[in-house]
Chain A
Amino acid sequence: MTTDHDIYASSTETTEGRVFTVSGQDWDQIAEGLAEDDSERVVVNMGPQHPSTHGVLRLILELEGETVTEARCGIGYLHTGIEKNMEFRSWVQGVTFCTRMDYLSPFFNEATYCLGIERLLDIEDQVPEKANVMRVLLMELNRISSHLVAIATGGMEIGALTVMTIGFRERELVLDLFELITGLRMNHAFIRPGGVAQDLPPGALDEIRAFIALMRKRLPEYEALCNANPIFKARLVDVGHLDLEGCVALGLTGPVLRSTGYPWDLRKTQPYCGYETYDFDVQTWDTADSYGRFRIRLAEMWESLKIVEQAAERLAGLEGAPVMVADKKIAWPSQLAIGSDGMGNSLDHIRHIMGESMEALIHHFKLVTEGFRVPAGQAYVPVEGPRGELGAHVVSDGGTRPYRVHFRDPSFTNLQATSVMSEGGMVADVIVAIASIDPVMGGVDR
């Protein structure tokens, strides 16, 4: 680029010293400029647009040579106002918004929001078994896809591009299942208050079984590639250390907490959706470092596969069972389906609400125009997301729309530990520490 004047590639004087904008090909100028300064102290701004900050995260690092003396996060670059938007939509429509918060774990966002609404509606016991099994199935598949992206992007950020490509290869398999079951690859809005949106499509169980068999072959590849890999271990072992006291004081949950050896997993300690009836183990590690978190994620994918297999077995025996509560003031009076020609609503659906039942027509009209009312009160039903405790604080004023919904997102809380994990270490280890927390900026900023 031939420019005489580039407003960004220049330096300015401030009260704090000289400020440079690094833009590539100007390294000599910066090195000279810094040499003139006697202080070794450099404050580096990283992001929000940086390939290895795990999204639009901004880091402000104070460096002494290559050692980080202070690390601060700047967030909010993806603040979407989803919580405010949800206040202007009906309770069911809110699912469509919250699924887009933490876009790598959409089913967990939907599940915690719907569990909160169900508690306020007092229909927790009425959610049919098949809906709960399907929720567990989808959440565990989602945990696999989320951990795959965590490992893939974490690998990419330290330069292990093969880990990234194989991670995305396997994630595609999970996404194909999601597409088969929900119709969408991401942002599903499939878990609804009272159950799930649709029944399992024909052939889905065979696909799930084939997926489990394939993953049993593919997951060992990660172990063979990474577990004992000297470069991988040199980058990860003893990096981003945070012990149990630090985790509890800073509110960290999920793999970071479990890497200290504390088996805290809400699926075991405060079960929801019938997790107490599945056979699986809580994975822990005892090193409290990035390597331990990587190994926990890998081991959790195996545990999720176990749960998926059990859920698939149960679904085989639940063919034709309802997937929504029976109360037609909450669930639609007739299961919505696409017509046999692939266009418009199915004739069965229209016949039921238009021709067979006056009540169905009334319920359908009320649900579609204004939605159901939720009794006034507040509820908080957290679930164990891939990153830790994910909970929605749902407040209703008795109306047809959420009065206020606040999401306690694990990425937001866990990201606070960046400073503790990376101060005193090398600048390259900051990236590893953040990758081991695995924050998703959509969840951090909401």
Chain B
Amino acid sequence: MGIEEKLPSGVLLTTVEGVAGYMRKASFWPATFGLACCAIEMMTSGGPKYDLARFGMEVFRASPRQADLMIVAGRVSQKMAPVLRQIYDQMPEPKWVLAMGVCASSGGMFNNYAIVQGVDHVVPVDMYLPGCPPRPEMLIDAILKLHDQVQQTKLGPNRAREVEERENAALRALPTSEMRGLLR
């Protein structure tokens, strides 16, 4: 049925979104945003033993304007939060944020005056990675899971609709402390 049957062999059909997502995930450039202990593990992931270059990600961009992914590696202090937001704003769309480690995800053990209790208070986070600090293998796993999200990213009006749906779903969501039932 349709155009597929008339094509010569060796040609695949897909959507523009699919191609764009495939290209994006295959050359995914992180910005260097090392803050604390996790930054050392992030650098280790780029080093010889774990070799993030296997996934086309060895180019850690110093300029946020050339980066797609911000790996927030470490505890975000109240003093650092505005800087972090500025760097996020400077990154071009589309962009993703990975909260690496428990401090960036939720404040972790530093539940005090100095630390922002989760970087999602400042920027939208696409992937949370627990651990203190997470091993390089965990970081690579988180990035590969994020690759799936990137592959599925929609374009144009589809993207706008998706963003709105997710926004509404988040607003309707029940706060964690009010959830009942099985503690899972």
A25, A78, A85, A185: which contacts B65 (Cβ < 8 A)? A25
Known: A169-B48, A186-B41. A78 touches B112 (CB 8 A): no
A185 contacts B43, C-beta separation under 8 Å: no
How far, in whole Å, are A149 and B48 apart by their CA atoms in the complex? 14
Task: State which of A43-51, A214-222, A298-306, A403-411 sits at the interface with chain B.
Answer: A43-51
CB distance from B159 to the nearest CB of A (A): 16
CB distance from B147 to the nearest CB of A (A): 22
B83 contacts A172, C-beta separation under 8 Å: no
B80 contacts A77, C-beta separation under 8 Å: yes
B113 contacts A48, C-beta separation under 8 Å: no
Task: State which of A96-104, A117-125, A257-265, A315-323 sits at the interface with chain B.
Answer: A96-104
A172 contacts B37, C-beta separation under 8 Å: no
Known: A51-B62, A103-B40. A172 touches B49 (CB 8 A): yes
Is the C-beta of A35 less than 8 angstroms from some C-beta in chain B? no
Contacts of A25 in B (CB 8 A): 65
B135 contacts A56, C-beta separation under 8 Å: no
Contacts of A85 in B (CB 8 A): 109-112
B80 contacts A84, C-beta separation under 8 Å: no
Is the C-beta of A23 less than 8 angstroms from some C-beta in chain B? yes
CB distance from A182 to the nearest CB of B (A): 14
CB distance from B25 to the nearest CB of A (A): 20
Encode contact with B along A77-108: 1 for CB under 8 Å, 0 otherwise.
Answer: 11111101100000000001100100110000
Contacts of B60 in A (CB 8 A): 51
B90 contacts A8, C-beta separation under 8 Å: yes
How far, in whole Å, are A112 and B32 apart by their CA atoms in the complex? 32
How far, in whole Å, are A186 and B36 apart by their CA atoms in the complex? 12
B87 contacts A49, C-beta separation under 8 Å: yes
A169 contacts B47, C-beta separation under 8 Å: yes
CB distance from A435 to the nearest CB of B (A): 15
A49 contacts B83, C-beta separation under 8 Å: yes
How far, in whole Å, are A104 and B40 apart by their CA atoms in the complex? 8
A187 contacts B37, C-beta separation under 8 Å: yes
Residue of B40, B48, B66, B113 ringed by the most chain A CB atoms within 10 A: B40
CB-CB nearest in chain B for A166: B48
How far, in whole Å, are A442 and B80 apart by their CA atoms in the complex? 13
Docked complex: B43-100 residues within 8 A CB-CB of A: 43-44, 47-49, 60, 62-63, 65-66, 74-75, 77, 79-80, 83-84, 86-87, 89-90, 92-93
Cβ contacts A to B, 14 pairs, < 8 Å:
A8-B86, A24-B65, A48-B83, A49-B33, A49-B83, A49-B87, A55-B35, A56-B34, A56-B80, A78-B80, A80-B115, A84-B112, A164-B47, A171-B44
Q: Which residues of B contact A (CB under 8 A)?
A: 32-37, 39-41, 43-44, 47-49, 60, 62-63, 65-66, 74-75, 77, 79-80, 83-84, 86-87, 89-90, 92-93, 109-115, 132-133, 135
6 further A-B contacts with Cβ under 8 Å, apart from A24-B63, A56-B35, A80-B77, are A8-B89, A49-B87, A51-B62, A77-B77, A103-B36, A169-B48
